[in-house]
Chains A and B, each alone.
Chain A
């Protein structure tokens, strides 16, 4: 083996070793890397109930009830849903049908949130396109 091939093999082994180490590290920490749990996770007991955690999903249509600073709404991942109570300022993008992530804890089947963040989706469009899409959805 020439010196150059030797170095090539060393670099290749470095890349391989690091990828393997990275793969196993990510596999081990997989659960900790989830930013939020879905209502289904909560119902099926995969969420750390009893501690503070984050729950993400869509705000169900016609479920938002406002009373001053107090807001209560239903968070859904279409399979399961859960009531969320929150007191405070909501982000600009909060609206019905919008994805959000709430931080808080469960108390008697109600998720009491201390923070609500809006989650934006990957779509950007002018209002006309949004209207057209909405119409197409309704006519279906």
Chain B
């Protein structure tokens, strides 16, 4: 088992695995993306109070969940890199950061766009919104710290510690609406808040779409990162010059 993991984690095998996996994430993403958008925008009914305006949740909720999931993946991959010195875990952590930051920005932006007409304001400093903004700053800090070192191993070490420290923010974001009075509403998912089955299906598909998007982007970006890191190794030179490896 340990041998198998070590083999998978060698840069060359990891690169090949990524190449093989990318289409398996990308194609379902495109197909399910089309189905999900159709279900979200056409099949699912309008809300009794908000009309069509509520449909932004089909982007807002998946991107918000993913912003936290990706952070978790990033911190755990960083921790694996720290403890077991697996370089490819460091790669996964590093390339996850900008994707997670993008999900966070999407969640914050869609929330603000929804908040203006529904709440009457773009932004409030309640616990949920503030902790999600801190998540964005954690991503930005992780990325700048990771780029501040010339040696990728040192960079991974320093930034992984930061990522693990930032983990404490995840439960705060999740439970913020339960622990404190917030303007942000409580849990919709898991409490039967979506009263129409089509709403639930649409949100489920859209969530899957976001997971696939993340997986596809990680495999694509990880390949670039591996090539950059291993640019002096034999197999990369063979790959670039087009020789059989």
Contact = CB atoms under 8 A, between A and B. Distances in A.
Interface residues of B, number: 42
A125 B83 contact: no
Contacts of B194: 123-125
A35 B172 contact: no
Overall SS of chain B's interface: loop
Contacts of A93: 49-50, 118-119
Contacts of A35: 124-127, 180-183
Contacts of A37: 181
A129 B195 contact: yes
A79 interface: no
Given A11-B164, A14-B161, A125-B195, A118 B124 contact: no
B182 A124 contact: no
Contact of A14 (B48, B126, B165): B165
Nearest to B180: A33
A140 B84 CA distance: 62
B117 A122 contact: no
B185 A120 contact: yes
Contact of A15 (B54, B84, B125, B164): B164
A126 B120 contact: no
A56 B188 contact: no
Contact of A122 (B120, B179, B187): B187
Interface string B76-105: 000100111000000000000000000000
Contact of B82 (A7, A34, A94): A7
A133 B196 CA distance: 13
A92 B46 contact: no
Please indicate which of the listed interface residues B82, B179, B195 has the most CB atoms of chain A within 10 Å of its own CB: B195
Interface string A83-122: 0000001111110000001000000000000011111111
Interface of B: 45-50, 54, 57, 79, 82-84, 117-121, 124-127, 161, 164-165, 167-168, 172, 179-183, 185-188, 191, 193-196, 199
20 contacts: A7-B82, A11-B82, A14-B164, A22-B172, A26-B179, A34-B181, A35-B125, A56-B181, A91-B119, A118-B120, A122-B185, A122-B188, A122-B191, A123-B195, A124-B188, A125-B195, A125-B196, A126-B46, A129-B48, A130-B49
Interface of A: 4, 7-8, 11, 14-15, 18-19, 21-22, 26, 30, 33-38, 56, 89-94, 101, 115-131, 133
